[in-house]
Chains A and B, each alone.
Chain A
Amino acid sequence: MPSSIPASASELARAAGRIGAPPRYEELRRAYRLWRRSPLSVVGTVLVGVILLVAVLAPWIAPYDPLAQDFSVRLQPPSRAHWFGTDQFGRDIFSRVVFGSRIALEIILIVSVISGGLGALVGWVAGYFGGRMDEVLMRLTDMFLAFPSLVLAMAFAAALGPSLPNMIFAISLVTWTPYARLARGETLRTKALDFVEAARAMGASDMRIIFRHVLPMTLSVLIVQLTLRMGTIVLTAAGLGFLGLGAQPPTPEWGAMVSDGRNYIVDQWWMSTLPGAAIAAAVLGFNLLGDGIRDILDPRLRR
């Protein structure tokens, strides 16, 4: 197959570029320049950075215990003592929003690992073995894609019984499909490369080829896709929380807090709107950051 020679040669060149130290430094500088030039990416990075920082430092930032009830200060508007006001149990909303960031990040992390892992596994197996296995797995993927994902996640969460772990499981079950498609495509591409052929000729087992050769080649694409979707995960989780299908009281989950404040919206506007603003800021941050990362990695924008 003479046509594969130039492809593998360019692959080799790319691999060589990856190993050499100076080109990698150059890559980083280029990425940094692109990042600096895009104000939206900078805003996204800052927002995500703030959320990470708040989550890590939550016990030091929050002025009150997020679960402590104090009926002497119930339904207070925002003030110097309670920046975001208090709810119907006199809990400090700012402290609850601060601790809520931990729950949001926990959801993102676990959902990304489960759905990314599940999707990648399906994609690797389908792409690597091909044939009937590929057909069956891809039709299964089509079926899940045919479902509006939020509605399916709600049905799963409702059937499993509302709780935070069940909600995380439900979201993971409906979000693995894009990773499966991506991993399959990348695997098909990688499988045709010469070094995989060489590994097979040397007698490497399927498992070894998948995990040592195919997996590392597909990982970067998957990671980019995962970051792109983190905003959507927060949004879906907040939606389920809002409908009461996620974390149960008194857990300070943002979506549930918006729902809590709904009955008080007319006179105590802060109860719903401020936790909701935290959701919006988090989703915006992850979306902007994801867009920025995609732009930086987009080969059309290079040079």
Chain B
Amino acid sequence: MNLATYVTRRLALMVLVVFGVLVITFVISHVIPADPVLAILGGNAPAEKVDALRRELGLDKPLHEQFVAYIWGAVRGDLGRSLRTGRPVWDDIQQYFPATVELTFSAIFLAVILGIPLGVISATRRNQVHDHTTRVFSIVGVSMPVFWTGLVLLLLLYYRLGWLPGPGRLDLEILPPPSRTRLLILDSLLAGNWAALRNAVGHLVMPAFVLGYLATATIARVTRSSMLDALHQDYVRTARSKGLVERVVVLRHALRNALIPTVTVIGLVFGGLLEGSVLTETIFAWPGLGRYITTGYITLDYPAVMGGTLYIAVVYSIVNLVVDLTYAFLDPRIRF
């Protein structure tokens, strides 16, 4: 199979997967739940009002017609209207998602600049103190509940010591920069608003660290094992016997090849971060998509919950697709 066929196949699979995701969210939102109409109107609404709303939402139609309407709506970006904000769910998502992007990308950034060096150090000093420390650090990282680490850090660094700003994206007294990209940091840079930039970065540090810790742990573990693999390859021995400095051998020869699995895992971790962002955003009152969804649970805002879930699932599968394709491009030895 050549690359073109692989890409087409992979795209077809993704369409299938997205369709499956739609089926699952449809089943959850239309078949299982407590009656959405009663959730909107309350338990003792008059029968004619219930019927009217049911007609309005199309819930009186047979299930297969509802399904077609649902799919058709989703394809056009019509995810219904949020019961809480009263706005189309799609518009809400456009408003909230950039904050999530800012948070997850900062977390990934932290995880990469911390995780890869940690993995390399631990592989080059296998079974020494560094290696064991990294191992403990990693396993603790994947074991801590993010909502708990978030609370503890918030308690210590904000409430007690006051070193970092607290929940939210910006202090109330800071004037936000004009919203062009909806990424606060980028907007502040574009507007040259240094006070806002400093404040926004300060607000980002804690949640990004809490979220990134999990990813750092995973990246460090994978880098370690692929580095160990690479360091035992013949070309590394050749490089050493040529008399190259150890640093060059490790960084130029071994690391380059060892990074391929790391790239894959960065993609996979990204999915985990989207997930973790739901809890992190709740703790840090971060106005992102995760918080939008969790607020939806509490207010029984089903369209918001399902729209947000669908959106995250689609982004997640796009990321997976990109990872698979990157992987194929990075390593020409891979046969599809």
- B313–A238 contact, CB under 8 A? no
Q: Does B72 contact A (CB under 8 A)?
A: no
Contact present for A276 and B148 (CB under 8 Å): yes
What A residues does B327 contact at CB under 8 A?
A: none
> Of the candidates B143, B152, B154, which one forms a contact with A276 in the assembled complex, judged by CB atoms under 8 Å apart?
B152
* CB closest residue in chain B, given A161: B34
Q: Find the A residue at minimum CB distance from B16.
A: A139
**B17 contacts A142, C-beta separation under 8 Å:** yes
B25 and A288 contacting across the interface, CB-CB below 8 Å: no
In the complex the two chains form, what is the Cα distance from A272 to B159 in whole Å?
Answer: 14
The answer to whether A283 and B145 touch (CB under 8 A), given A151-B278, A151-B312, is yes
Determine chain A's interface SS by DSSP, over half rule: helix
Would you call A288 and B151 a contact (CB within 8 A)?
no
- Kindly supply a per-residue 1/0 record for chain B positions 15-34, scoring 1 wherever the CB is within 8 Å of any chain A CB and 0 otherwise: 01110110111001100111
Task: Write out the residue numbers on chain A whose beta carbons fall within 8 Å of the beta carbon of B34.
Answer: 159, 161
Q: Which of A156, A245, A273, A287 contacts B139 (CB 8 A)?
A: A287
When distances are taken between beta carbons in the complex, the residues of chain B under 8 Å from A272 are 148, 151
Please name all residues of chain B whose beta carbon is closer than 8 Å to the beta carbon of A291 when the two chains form the complex.
139
The reply to whether B20 and A143 contact each other, CB–CB distance below 8 Å, is yes
Residues of A within 8 A of B13 (CB): 142
User: A40, A159, A244, A245 — which one has the most chain B CB atoms within 10 A of its CB?
Assistant: A159
Chain B contacts for A159, CB-based, 8 A? 28-29, 32-34, 302
Which residues of A are found within 8 Å of B159, using beta-carbon distances? Answer: 265-266
| Central interface residue in B16, B24, B29, B155, by most chain A CB within 10 Å | B24
- CB-nearest residue of chain A relative to B271? A148
The size class of the interface chain A forms with chain B is 35 or more
How far, in angstroms, from A258 to B283 measured CA to CA in the complex? 11
Interface hits, B207-244 → A, CB 8 Å: none
8 Å CB contact of B317 from A146, A149, A160, A243? A146
Number of B residues with CB within 8 Å of any CB on chain A:
52
Nearest CB in chain A to that of B309: its residue: A155
A280 interfacial by beta-carbon distance below 8 Å: yes
Measured between alpha carbons, how far is A244 from B154 in the docked complex, in Å? Answer: 21
Whether B67 sits at the interface, judged by CB under 8 Å, is no
Selected from A143, A244, A287, the residue in CB contact (under 8 A) with B298 is A244
Please give, as numbers and ranges, the residues of chain B lying within 8 Å of A258 by CB-CB distance: 145, 147-148, 151
Complex alpha-carbon distance, A259 and B278, angstroms? 14
Residues of A close to B145: CB separation below 8 A: 235, 238-239, 242, 255, 258, 276, 279-280, 283
User: Is the beta-carbon distance between A287 and B309 smaller than 8 angstroms?
Assistant: no
Q: Is A120's CB within 8 Å of the partner chain B? A: no
User: Bound state CA distance, A158 and B17, in angstroms?
Assistant: 23
**List of B residues within 8 angstroms of A235 by Cβ:** 143, 145
> How many angstroms from the CA of A13 to the CA of B282 in the assembled complex?
56
B-contacting residues of A (Cβ < 8 Å)? 40, 139-140, 142-144, 146-152, 154-156, 158-161, 231, 235, 238-239, 242-245, 255, 258-259, 262, 265-266, 269, 272-273, 276-277, 279-280, 283-284, 287-288, 291
Of the A-B pairs whose beta carbons lie under 8 Å apart in the complex, a sample of 15, sorted by A's number, is A139-B16, A146-B18, A148-B275, A148-B312, A151-B274, A152-B24, A152-B309, A152-B313, A154-B278, A269-B155, A273-B151, A273-B152, A280-B143, A283-B143, A284-B139
